[in-house]
């Protein structure tokens, strides 16, 4: 039996999930996910690490499908709901998924692709009744559990394979560090194709027997309503979301501000991560909410690695100390390197990239540069690649965007950079060199058809040539200065 299922068994009668205004108990989740596993097993006794891609709305359906795939022995490949077709195709093809599961509204989007790739297509609520009842396979911890796609220093995203053992280690480390209990309740406002939403929010709450409310579309008002009515006591988000919550709070009347500040003060824990938390945001949030945000550091490949303490001083600008079960060190160049059971198994079908991301003695090289203070606390200083951008908490590859831009008629060369931005952390911007006039609006529309909106440039600058160093390499620092 998969561990998250087992861990939550004692809480059968408690509310596990609230989605679309409806509450579901753990017993209902156990039953519905086991039924879904049976459906997946119609054609075999064990999915045996077959990849199941799913484009399912956040909520009860998402979790029953995820747990069902795990119980049937498959690997979950969650798809981003805002991906245009080329990105969906890439993820499905690259993972070699043989089954695709969709919420009804995504049936039309994926039917053609499922046919073309000879994938079994399951539409929730339509053809999702199992024909037989089989014994569920024994899923050992060393088996693959999840593939999440992450952008890196290569132009196309890589699939990060985490085993059940990895996920169990990632979840149990956070349960211990942040003292999750069955009395907790949280809300998931984050996308469910990334580790922050999938592991930290949804999996941790369910493993602990706590409840998770889903808010598929981010809404400041919706979050404050949950807080004001004391429906949640734990909240996790990226710095951009705290920035947005601050802006919203500041737009309210003094009376309402006081009500919300009092309600915020009742929360047990508020956490920020996925991108650097500006000290200004941390300080402003302290005055609004009374909470000193707990900042932590993680990565798709390793789950969470470093965290400020739950009890004890939280330091602005610091990401804290290694979490339980995690070993961390700095290389001579200051790179954070991580070892332990939370570290992923491999990049899907990329043995060379996998090997290149580990040191000879088996430490994962994060690419993030940090310094350690005298009592062992880490402070992130930057990244060792200029081609990685973090915007709204999303990791974005400049090279991936450049590759797409170069295909646009009229563009002869380009360089994509991140511009420092208070709200988004970094804003994606592109310098383009054109051989014929390019209409920026048309380019922007076209880009949004090629990749999700969060990856597309927000600002373009037409240059006669790109700044280069003596070796002919584009100097991105100069590009930033020229665009700003
Ligand atoms: C969206 N918009 C952006 C943008 N993203 N503008 C600039 N930069 C960006 N990055 C624009 C949209 O195009 C749109 O404008 C408007 O903002 C609203 O878009 P949206 O998609 O509706 O945005 P919103 O719902 O407000 O989303 C903001 C957000 C979202 C902060 C909720 O970005 C988000 O969920 N981020 C979290 C990502 C995440 O989970 N990262 C964790 C990765 S795991 P227009 O013009 O189109 O109307 C990881 C490891 C770890 O990092 O340590 O956790
Ligand atoms: P992802 O590949 O989407 O999982 O993003 C992981 C990256 O997010 C890390 O390599 C860091 O660069 C960044 N990151 C996560 N948490 C923090 C943090 N608290 N401060 C600074 N950067 C962070």
Q: pLDDT by residue (tens digit) across 14-52?
A: 999 999 999 999 999 999 999 999 999 988 899 999 999
Rg (CA), the chain: 23
Ordered alpha helix ranges (H), 229-324:
239-250, 254-265, 279-289
Structure tokens at 206: 């369910």
Ligand 1 pocket check for 271: Cβ under 6 Å: no
Ligand nearest to the CA of 196: 1
- Torsion of Cα atoms, 56 then 20 then 190 then 266, to 10°: -160
Question: Distance (Å, rounded) from C-alpha 40 to C-alpha 65?
Answer: 10
What is the share, in percent, of the chain residues with pLDDT greater than 90? Answer: 95
Q: Burial of 143 by CB count in 10 Å (0-12 exposed, 13-18 middle, 19+ buried)?
A: buried
Residue to substitute in 80, 237, 392 for testing ligand 1 pocket (most ligand atoms within 8 angstroms of CB): 392
What pLDDT digit, counting tens, does each position of 369-396 carry? 999 998 889 999 999 999 999 999 999 9
Question: Distance (Å, rounded) from C-alpha 383 to C-alpha 402?
Answer: 19
Ligand 1 pocket check for 393: Cβ under 6 Å: yes
Tell me the sheet residues that pair with 122: 101
* pLDDT band at 13; cut points 50, 70, 90: very high
What 350-358 contacts at long range (C-beta under 8 Å, 24+ apart), as own/partner pairs, is: 350/158, 350/159, 353/154, 353/158, 357/301
Average pLDDT over residues 100-128: 95
Output the CA–CA distances (angstroms, integers) from residue 350 to 94, 95, 346, 355, in the order listed. Answer: 11, 11, 8, 9
**What spacing in Å lies between the alpha carbon of 276 and ligand 2's midpoint?**
7
CATH number, domain 4-139, options 3.40.50.980, 3.40.30.10, 1.10.10.10, 1.10.268.10: 3.40.50.980
Res. 309: pLDDT tops 90? yes
Closest CA to 181 of 7, 386, 27: 7
**What spacing in Å lies between the alpha carbon of 208 and ligand 2's midpoint?**
25
Res. 127: pLDDT tops 80? no
Domain 386-483 CATH superfamily: ANL, C-terminal domain (3.30.300.30)
What is the per-residue pLDDT for 270? 98
Ligand 2 pocket check for 150: Cβ under 6 Å: yes
Longest dimension (CA), the chain: 68
Question: Distance (Å, rounded) from C-alpha 170 to C-alpha 19?
Answer: 25
Ligand 1 pocket check for 453: Cβ under 6 Å: yes
H or E stretch at 476: helix 476-483
Which residue's CA lies nearest to atom 14 of ligand 1? 453
* CB-CB neighbours of 471 under 10 Å: 6
What is the per-residue pLDDT for 128? 76
Res. 131: pLDDT tops 80? no
**What spacing in Å lies between the alpha carbon of 274 and ligand 2's midpoint?**
4
Res. 155: pLDDT tops 90? no
Compute CA 50 distance to the chain's CA centroid, rounded to the nearest angstrom: 22
Question: Distance (Å, rounded) from C-alpha 202 to C-alpha 90?
Answer: 26
Topology agreement, domain 4-139 and domain 386-483: no
Helix, strand, coil tally for the chain in percent (to 5): 35, 25, 40
**What spacing in Å lies between the alpha carbon of 392 and ligand 1's midpoint?**
5
What is the per-residue pLDDT for 134? 87
Pairing of the two strands 51-55 and 75-78: parallel
Ligand 2 pocket check for 379: Cβ under 6 Å: no
H or E stretch at 397: strand 394-397
**What spacing in Å lies between the alpha carbon of 298 and ligand 2's midpoint?**
5
Residue to substitute in 454, 458, 459, 460 for testing ligand 1 pocket (most ligand atoms within 8 angstroms of CB): 454
Ligand 2 pocket check for 273: Cβ under 6 Å: yes
What is the per-residue pLDDT for 282? 97
Residue to substitute in 270, 275, 389 for testing ligand 2 pocket (most ligand atoms within 8 angstroms of CB): 275
Ligand 2, closest atom to CA 295?
A: 19
Q: Does domain 185-382 have CATH number 3.90.550.10?
A: no
Pairing of the two strands 144-150 and 158-163: antiparallel
Ligand 1 pocket check for 191: Cβ under 6 Å: yes
Res. 154: pLDDT tops 90? no
Ligand 1, closest atom to CA 217?
A: 25
**Whole-number average pLDDT of the chain:** 96
The residue ranges of every structural domain in the chain are 4-139, 185-382, 386-483
Ligand 1 pocket check for 298: Cβ under 6 Å: yes
- Helices 254-265 and 279-289: crossing angle in degrees, nearest 10, is 100
What pLDDT digit, counting tens, does each position of 422-481 carry? 999 999 999 999 999 999 999 999 999 999 999 999 999 999 999 999 999 999 999 999
Ligand 1, closest atom to CA 296?
A: 53
* CB-CB neighbours of 254 under 10 Å: 7
Average pLDDT over residues 155-160: 92
Average pLDDT over residues 97-126: 97
């Amino acid at each position: 039996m998969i561990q998250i299922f087992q861990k939550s068994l004692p809480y059968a009668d408690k509310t596990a999930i609230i989605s679309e205004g409806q509450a579901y108990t753990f017993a209902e989740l156990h039953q519905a996910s086991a039924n879904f596993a049976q459906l997946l097993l119609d054609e075999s006794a064990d999915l045996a690490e077959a990849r199941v891609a799913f484009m399912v709305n956040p909520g009860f359906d998402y979790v029953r499908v995820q747990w069902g795939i795990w119980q049937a022995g498959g690997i979950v490949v969650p798809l981003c709901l805002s991906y245009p077709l080329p990105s969906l195709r890439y993820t499905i093809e690259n993972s070699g998924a043989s089954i695709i599961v969709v919420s009804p509204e995504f049936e039309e989007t994926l039917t053609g692709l499922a046919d073309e790739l000879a994938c079994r297509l399951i539409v929730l609520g339509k053809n999702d009744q199992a024909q037989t009842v089989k014994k569920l396979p024994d899923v050992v911890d060393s088996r693959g559990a999840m593939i999440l796609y992450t952008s890196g220093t290569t132009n196309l995203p890589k699939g990060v394979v985490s085993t059940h053992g990895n996920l169990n280690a990632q979840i149990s480390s956070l349960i211990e560090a942040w003292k999750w209990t069955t009395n907790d309740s949280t809300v998931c406002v984050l996308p469910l194709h990334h580790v922050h939403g999938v592991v930290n929010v949804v999996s941790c709450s369910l493993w602990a027997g706590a409840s998770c409310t889903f808010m598929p579309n981010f809404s400041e008002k919706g979050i404050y309503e949950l807080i004001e009515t004391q429906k949640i006591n734990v909240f996790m988000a990226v710095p951009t979301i705290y920035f947005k919550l601050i802006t919203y709070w500041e737009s309210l009347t003094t009376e309402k501000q006081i009500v919300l500040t009092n309600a915020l003060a009742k929360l047990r824990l508020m956490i920020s991560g996925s991108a650097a938390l500006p000290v200004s945001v941390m300080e402003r949030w302290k005055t609004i909410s009374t909470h000193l945000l707990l900042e932590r550091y993680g990565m798709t490949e390793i789950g969470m690695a470093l965290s400020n303490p739950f009890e004890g001083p939280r330091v602005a600008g610091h990401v804290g100390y290694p979490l339980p079960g995690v070993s961390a060190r700095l290389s001579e160049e200051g790179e954070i390197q991580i070892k332990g059971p939370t570290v992923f198994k491999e990049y899907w079908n990329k043995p060379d990239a996998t090997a290149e991301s580990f040191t000879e003695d088996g430490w994962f090289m994060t690419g993030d540069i940090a310094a350690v203070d005298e009592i062992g606390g880490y402070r992130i200083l930057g990244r060792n690649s200029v081609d990685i951008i973090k915007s709204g908490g999303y990791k974005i590859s400049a090279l991936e965007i450049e590759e797409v831009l170069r295909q646009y008629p009229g563009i002869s060369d380009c360089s994509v950079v991140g511009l420092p931005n208070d709200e988004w952390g970094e804003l994606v911007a592109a310098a383009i060199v054109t051989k014929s006039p390019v209409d920026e609006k048309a380019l922007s529309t076209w880009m949004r058809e090629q990749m999700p909106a969060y990856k597309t440039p927000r600002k373009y600058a037409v240059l006669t040539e790109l700044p280069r160093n003596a070796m002919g390499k584009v100097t991105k620092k100069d590009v930033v200065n020229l665009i700003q």
